[in-house]
C-alpha cells in the first residue's frame, strides 16, 4: 500500500469529502475549535463515514508542517486521474484547453494556477519535471481542492511534449510581454495549449521557439507584468469567453 499524503485546510478537505471521501484514511480535527464552520465541516465528515481523530494544534502542526491548517488535516490516498496526457486527450469530447507552465517553482503560484484552471474548465496543467514544483501540501492548500480535480502532468521534455501536442492539431499559444499581438487577437476556440513562463524570467528560449504564436496581455498601468496565476486566469477565461460557457 502506498504511503498517504497530507491534505489540510477547509477548502481542500471539503472538496475531497465531496468528490472522493473513500480516499480519506483519517481526518484530524482540532477539538478546541467549535465555531459554526467547524461544526458544518464535521457534520459533512460524519455523514461521509470518515474516521475522525481528535487532535490539537501541536499535533496538527507536526502532521502538516505549518500552523496554517485551520484546525483540519487528513491522511489521504491519491485520487485516480487519467494515467497519461494521451489518455486524457483521447477521452475529450470538446476541443482541448490546456495550461502549460514553464518554470513555475513556487508552490503558492502553482496552487493558484490550479485553482483558476479548475474554475475556467481547463482540461489539464502541464509542466516540466526539472523546472517546476510538484503537488505538495502547500500547493493543495492554496489550490482549495483544485489539486484534486485538475490533472497535473509533469513531463520529461517540455518542448517534445509541445511538439506532440502539435501533431494532435493543438495550437500552442505562448505569452510574452514583447509580443506584438495581444491575447484578444488570438483564436482560442480551436484546440489550444496556453503557455506561460515564470514571473520575471518568462518562458525558456526553446519553449518560446516551439510556440505557434506569441501574444501579450495588454498592460495600461505602471507595472510591466502580472503574477503567473493572474495571467493564467486572464488567458483561460478569455478562452472560455470565446468558446461560450455552455460548452
Please give the full DSSP string across 143-157, using - where no structure is assigned. Answer: HTTGGGTS-EEEES-
C-alpha 55/C-alpha 15 separation (Å) is 21
85-243 belongs to which homologous superfamily?
SPOUT methyltransferase, trefoil knot domain (3.40.1280.10)
| Whether pLDDT at 245 is above 70 | yes
Q: pLDDT, tens digit, for every residue of 55-106?
A: 999 999 999 888 889 999 999 987 766 678 998 999 888 999 999 999 899 9
Q: What's the number of CA atoms in the CB half-sphere (13 Å) around residue 181?
A: 12
CB atoms within 10 A of CB 82: 15
- How large is the greatest C-alpha to C-alpha distance in the chain, in angstroms? 58
Q: pLDDT, tens digit, for every residue of 96-151?
A: 999 999 989 999 999 999 999 999 999 999 999 988 898 888 898 888 888 888 99
What pLDDT shows up at residue 80?
A: 67
DSSP 8-class letter at 203: S
Looking at the chain, the domain(s) classified CATH 3.40.1280.10 span: 85-243
Note the CATH number of domain 5-76: 3.30.1330.30
Burial annotation 16-55 (CB, 10 A radius, 16+ → b, else e): bbeebbebbeebbbbeebeeeebeebbeebeeeebeebeb
Q: Work out the pLDDT band at 246, boundaries 50, 70, 90.
A: low
Looking at the chain, the domain(s) classified CATH 3.30.1330.30 span: 5-76
Q: pLDDT, tens digit, for every residue of 227-241?
A: 999 999 999 999 999
What pLDDT shows up at residue 81?
A: 64
Amino acid at each position: 500500500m502506498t504511503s498517504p499524503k497530507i491534505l489540510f485546510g477547509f477548502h481542500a478537505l471539503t472538496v475531497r469529502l465531496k468528490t472522493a471521501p473513500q480516499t480519506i484514511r483519517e481526518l484530524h480535527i482540532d477539538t478546541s475549535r467549535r465555531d459554526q464552520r467547524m461544526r458544518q465541516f464535521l457534520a459533512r465528515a460524519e455523514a461521509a463515514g470518515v474516521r475522525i481523530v481528535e487532535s490539537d494544534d501541536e499535533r496538527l502542526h507536526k502532521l502538516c508542517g505549518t500552523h496554517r491548517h485551520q484546525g483540519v488535516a487528513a491522511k489521504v490516498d491519491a485520487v485516480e486521474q487519467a494515467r497519461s496526457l494521451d489518455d486524457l486527450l483521447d477521452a475529450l469530447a470538446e476541443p482541448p484547453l490546456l495550461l502549460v507552465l514553464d518554470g513555475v517553482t513556487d508552490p503558492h503560484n502553482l496552487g493558484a494556477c490550479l485553482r483558476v484552471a479548475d474554475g475556467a474548465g481547463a482540461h489539464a496543467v502541464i509542466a516540466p519535471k526539472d523546472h517546476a514544483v510538484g503537488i505538495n501540501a502547500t500547493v493543495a492548500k492554496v489550490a482549495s481542492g483544485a489539486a484534486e480535480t485538475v490533472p497535473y502532468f509533469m513531463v520529461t521534455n517540455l518542448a517534445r511534449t509541445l511538439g506532440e501536442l502539435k501533431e494532435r492539431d493543438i495550437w500552442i499559444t505562448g505569452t510574452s510581454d514583447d509580443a506584438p499581438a495581444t491575447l484578444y487577437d488570438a483564436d482560442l476556440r480551436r484546440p489550444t495549449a496556453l503557455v506561460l513562463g515564470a514571473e520575471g524570467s518568462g518562458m525558456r528560449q526553446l519553449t518560446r521557439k516551439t510556440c505557434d504564436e506569441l501574444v501579450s496581455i495588454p498592460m495600461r498601468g505602471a507595472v510591466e507584468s502580472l503574477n503567473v496565476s493572474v495571467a493564467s486566469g486572464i488567458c483561460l477565461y478569455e478562452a472560455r469567453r470565446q468558446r461560450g460557457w455552455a460548452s
